[in-house]
A and B are shown apart, each in its own frame.
Chain A
Amino acid sequence: MSRHPLLRACTTVLALLVSAAPVAAHAGSVGLASRGAPVPSWSVIAAGAAAVGASFLFTSLLTDRQFVERVPRRGWSLPPVAPIFVGVVRWTAVAAVPLVIVAGVIGPDEPVANLLTLVVWIAWWAGYTMTTYVVGNTWPALNPWRTVAPLFPVEPRSLPRRVGSWPSVAGLLALVALEVLSPVTGDPRLLAAAVVGYSLVTVAGAAAFGDAWFDRVDPVARMFALYGRFAPIRRTDAGLHIGLPGAGLARDSTVYDPDDVAFVVALVWVTTFDGLVATAAWERLTDATAAVGVPASAVTLSGLLGGFGCFLGCYWLAARWVRRTAPTYVTTRYLAGWFAPALVPIAAGYHFAHFVGYLTGFAPTIAAVAVDPVSPPASLPVLSPPGWFGALVLLAIIVGHVVAVWVAHARAFDLFAGRVQPIRSQYPFAGVAVCYTTVSLWIVAQPIATGIS
């Protein structure tokens, strides 16, 4: 039908315009909800799920192969960063780690007045992580543990190939279990111990196994590397490159192995889970189970692992189902690995949604505490985010899912020939995406039980 170039261009523009519309309309309705209008949260959730479904439908109208392949390739190359600058930043980071740990140990007990707690959870876990997907992954250059590890004269050995990147999956789940189960978020001394422990393990591992440690074991470096593939600024063989967000994922030529797929799924799940355990609903659940004698930590741990297993299973089933809907002889394992990069924008969107409020709220607190970490002023400035932040939060989740739909669309056009088969291959994943948006928005719409401390 769309054989005429002009007609084709019109269809494309129209499809692009309309696919942006539901998102904007959705943000409006959320704005109402956050101002306390009588819109029940289920309608917000339904609208969000509908926005993701609609974006899949509109994306399926984009069948101009050349257009689909050309868009992610737009971009420019950037001049390299001066090595002296990188050196200064890198060693500043190395010096900052012990200073912040000491500040945490001798500083006040309240987490909101303690520099270590603020730097780890707000500046780094919330703020720095955001820069890895909004700007680019600077962690390989900045990582202080990577900088000091080669200074230790240890006989280098190679990490066994058969362990793959499973250690990083276990590491990520362990890190999040530590965060939600132990009082590490509220106890600066415990946090200092955890940072020292992480430093010892990381430096020892990196000294023994070299860069393989950061590629396959260290969950933090792997997480930033994945977010960096989404970011507009990316490192390529030809130097730094700036392009559209998500384009790096659409153009990623690697097929993820099952261990890498598990890591991506774990990343999406832990970001969601971080939000889930903070809700009042989760608190009610753990209270209810505690009443019948099941400790809250057991419920939380099984929620973390069970949710991860459930999500990984759903993703794998969706990949298997693609063989039927496309239809195709490509293996389930290959399909799961081929489409896994599309999950990264979902994780980024959810991370942004979860932390943008904390970051803006506590940014002035960090500045005030950093001036005098030992005895900070008694009344610390904390911003309360404006009402439209609620809309921003939901918008971030939906944009994440919409970019994910687009990345999967581009990858489907690369894997399959023609125009019908790539679209058919996306039915199962679109179903999973709509379900996951529903869950994510339900969590975000829940009242929060506790704050950062």
Chain B
Amino acid sequence: MSLQSHPPETTLSDDGTTAAVCPYCDRPFVTERQRALHVGERHNATEAERRAYEAARDAESDELFRLHLKVIFAVGLLYAASIVGGVVAFSLPG
């Protein structure tokens, strides 16, 4: 359930890219996948839209997995940096 009662204000990009538009609330999306996810989550989707939603969710899962790998890598880096930083900080004179 969404907090917003209306679709958000939107402007298309300057280069005039054709957007995917929600057939229910006219909200434009940058990618077809965003629209499929939006329709599946926010509206009473038809059978075809339901299948498009499932496909988009699968495709997104792969991207999310890569994103989470990056996050874990960044956390590890941050952790290593803070240990190095801590060691340096404690070994400094004064």
Contact = CB atoms under 8 A, between A and B. Distances in A.
Nearest to B63: A420
A426 to B, nearest CB: 12
Nearest to B62: A1
Interface in B33-65: 33-34, 37-38, 40-42, 56-57, 60-61, 63-65
A179 B28 CA distance: 48
Nearest to A424: B67
A360 interface: no
Interface string A403-435: 000000000001111111101000000000000
A60 interface: yes
Contacts, number: 105
A333 interface: yes
Contacts of B88: 43
Contacts of A330: 8-10
Given A57-B75, A329-B10, A329-B19, A40 B89 contact: yes
A3 B54 CA distance: 12
A442 to B, nearest CB: 15
B37 A418 contact: yes
Interface in A16-71: 29, 38-40, 43, 46-47, 50, 53-54, 57-58, 60-61, 63, 65, 69
Given A63-B64, A253-B4, A39 B10 contact: no
B86 interface: yes
A29 B1 CA distance: 42
B82 A417 contact: no
A299 to B, nearest CB: 31
A329 B29 contact: yes
Interface string A381-420: 0000000000000000000000000000000001111111
A338 B92 contact: no
A334 B56 CA distance: 26
A416 B33 CA distance: 12
Nearest to B31: A327
Contacts of A8: none
B90 A328 contact: no
Contacts of B42: 417
Contacts of B37: 417-418, 421
Given A54-B75, A54-B78, A417 B41 contact: yes
Contacts of A65: 41
A241 interface: no
Interface in B64-90: 64-65, 67-68, 71, 74-75, 78, 81-82, 85-86, 88-90
Contacts of A253: 3-5
Contacts of B65: 1
Contact of B9 (A60, A252, A333): A333
Interface in A144-201: none
B34 A421 contact: yes
A69 B1 contact: yes
A415 B8 contact: yes
Contacts of B61: 1, 3
A39 B89 contact: yes
A417 B75 contact: no
A127 to B, nearest CB: 33
A334 B28 CA distance: 14
A331 interface: yes
Interface in A124-149: none
Contacts of B23: none
A54 B76 CA distance: 10
Contact of B94 (A38, A47, A53, A414): A38
A417 B34 contact: yes
A211 to B, nearest CB: 24
Given A43-B85, A334-B8, A421-B37, 4 more contacts: A46-B82, A326-B30, A338-B8, A418-B57
Interface of A: 1, 3, 29, 38-40, 43, 46-47, 50, 53-54, 57-58, 60-61, 63, 65, 69, 251-253, 255, 326-331, 333-334, 338, 414-421, 423
Interface of B: 1-5, 8-13, 19, 28-31, 33-34, 37-38, 40-42, 56-57, 60-61, 63-65, 67-68, 71, 74-75, 78, 81-82, 85-86, 88-90, 92-94
26 contacts: A38-B94, A43-B85, A47-B85, A50-B78, A54-B78, A57-B75, A57-B78, A60-B67, A63-B64, A69-B1, A327-B31, A329-B10, A329-B19, A329-B30, A331-B10, A331-B11, A333-B9, A334-B8, A334-B10, A338-B8, A417-B40, A417-B42, A418-B57, A419-B60, A420-B67, A423-B67
